[in-house]
Amino acid sequence: MRRAGRTRAAAGLLIGGLVLTACSGGGDQGSGGDPNAPVTLTVNVFGDNFSLPDDRSLYDEYERLHPNVKIIENRSDFGTHHQNLQARLTAGTGAADLELIEVGQVAGYVGQTDKFVNFRDQGVDTAAWTDATLARASTPDGSALIGLPTDIGGLAMCYRADLFKAAGLPTDRDEVSRLWPTWEDYVATGDRFLSKAPDKAKWFDAGGHVFTGVLGNEKETFYNANGDLIVAENPAVKAAWDLTARAIKSGQSAALPEFTPEWNTGFQQGQFATITCPAWMMGYIKSNAADTEGKWDIARIPGGSGNWGGSYVTVPSQGRNTAAAVELAKWLTAPEQAVKLFQKIGNFPSQRGTWEQPEVKDFSAPFFNNAPAGEIFPASLADAPVQVVGPQSGVIGSTFAVALNSVEQGGDPDEAWAKAMSDIEAAAGTG
């Protein structure tokens, strides 16, 4: 899904001072209620997970199929959404009937199984997803599954063909893909771009996205398979940091923190030529920079594979409408709805069985010069490692992004790295 609001505040799930606004829907539609009784279901999201700001057709379809159900969606930015969810779980009140949790955050909630409906007990056909996808939202013994998977990221590189042309670079997507078989080549191409770039145009939007992309080819990044925190001694993490810092210091970054008004303006005004592009990013660009249609295209990701994104639909057990919420969660994550969301928003289905369907496989993205999105994104997933995710993976990623932003503001890379290590140790409780 689109991560509209994956903010870079390097903090854990801080709950102090949050306002616990009641979010549960009205109507007593619990596990033993009348299935035909009127019920309002609230869905808390952190972006275009199931709808666009001007298009809630998926919700409308469900309401037509279930005339007694009314759906209200509440949006907030990534950090606020997850912080508020944890606060409401701790308080035992205020959570929505359905709550989205991002893949990098879900491990931090798996230990709170008493606070969520267990989908293992709800007659869910889990065969649509891989074991690895389900395992991220499951207890180690597999007895509890707190969330149903939505989309999967996949990785590509979205680029502004008009800016490439102005800088004397090729614009054909296959030729562009050949520019960067590795991330080192991507950074080298950035230096070429800057030598003839249009005024004020940078190579990429923010260092945090490059760092995430580089690590997309690694199985173990912040944690190992045993659950140990390895970020400080993992050479792959330091190599990704050094390469990103080098690109920043050479002037390639527009230094635009993601999901901010400045970032949106950067899309609209062509302030950067490339962006590490998971599938959900297509919808974000389309909805925030509509006037740039036809200027964008999509090439292969350096290294050829990787994944960034995905989320899980959960049903907090504190809700009054858990039975109706479970049915909505199952419907929203069914393959049929996943295909519709891919075509409308760009969220790539996590259900492997959909990848060969013509609606997915043959899909070309009109906004992106008819790039064959249905081929590009599954190709990046075919050889992508199943990454190990730990309870603080989301926090660690945000910490690195903040640290890289400090480098973008003129800070010393070595000092920023040292501070990031200190902050990560403190957040993980190892310092």
Amino acid at 221: T
Q: What is the mean pLDDT of residues 23-37?
A: 54
Q: Which of 420, 397, 371 is nearest to 159 (CA)?
A: 371
Q: What is the mean pLDDT of residues 274-284?
A: 92
The answer on pLDDT for 14 being more than 50 is no
**Which one is predicted more confidently, 41 or 216?**
41
**Residue 267 pLDDT:** 97
The answer on pLDDT for 52 being more than 90 is no
Residues 106-119: pLDDT tens digits?
988 999 999 999 99
Cα–Cα dist 420/355, whole Å: 38
User: The tokens 């140990």 sit on which residue?
Assistant: 228
Q: In what order do the strands lie in the sheet with 202-204?
A: 202-204, 272-277, 156-160, 296-300
The answer on pLDDT for 132 being more than 50 is yes
The answer on pLDDT for 425 being more than 50 is yes
The answer on pLDDT for 70 being more than 80 is yes
Angle between helices 281-288 and 261-269 (to 10 degrees): 80
**Residue 12 pLDDT:** 35
Q: In what order do the strands lie in the sheet with 98-102?
A: 69-75, 39-45, 98-102, 310-314, 147-152, 348-349
- Report the share of the chain in percent with pLDDT over 70: 91
Q: What is the mean pLDDT of residues 98-102?
A: 94
**Residue 2 pLDDT:** 40
Confidence class of residue 13 from pLDDT cuts 50, 70 and 90? very low
**CB 345, CB 4: distance < 8 Å:** no
**Residue 5 pLDDT:** 41
Which of these ranges, 30-34, 105-109, 205-209, 227-231, has the smallest mean pLDDT?
30-34
The answer on pLDDT for 354 being more than 50 is yes
User: The tokens 């389309």 sit on which residue?
Assistant: 286
Residues 374-408: pLDDT tens digits?
999 988 888 788 788 888 888 898 899 999 999 99
Question: For the chain, how long is the longest CA-to-CA vector?
Answer: 68
The answer on pLDDT for 30 being more than 70 is no
Confidence class of residue 15 from pLDDT cuts 50, 70 and 90? very low
Residue 52 is given by DSSP the state: B
Task: Select, from the ranges 128-142, 158-172, 307-321, the one with the highest average predicted confidence (pLDDT).
Answer: 158-172
* Strand ranges inside 218-279, DSSP E: 272-277
Domains by residue range for the chain, with CATH: 39-152+309-349 (3.40.190.10), 156-308+370-428 (3.40.190.10)
Residues 170-184: pLDDT tens digits?
999 999 999 999 999
**Residue 95 pLDDT:** 98
**Residue 6 pLDDT:** 40
pTM of the model: 0.81
Q: Which of 377, 189, 232 is nearest to 298 (CA)?
A: 377
Contacts made by residues 120-128, CB under 8 angstroms, sequence distance 24+ = 120/144, 120/145, 122/326, 122/330, 124/148, 124/330, 128/335, 128/351, 128/352, 128/353
**Residue 53 pLDDT:** 64
**Residue 141 pLDDT:** 92
Average pLDDT, the chain: 88
The answer on pLDDT for 47 being more than 90 is no
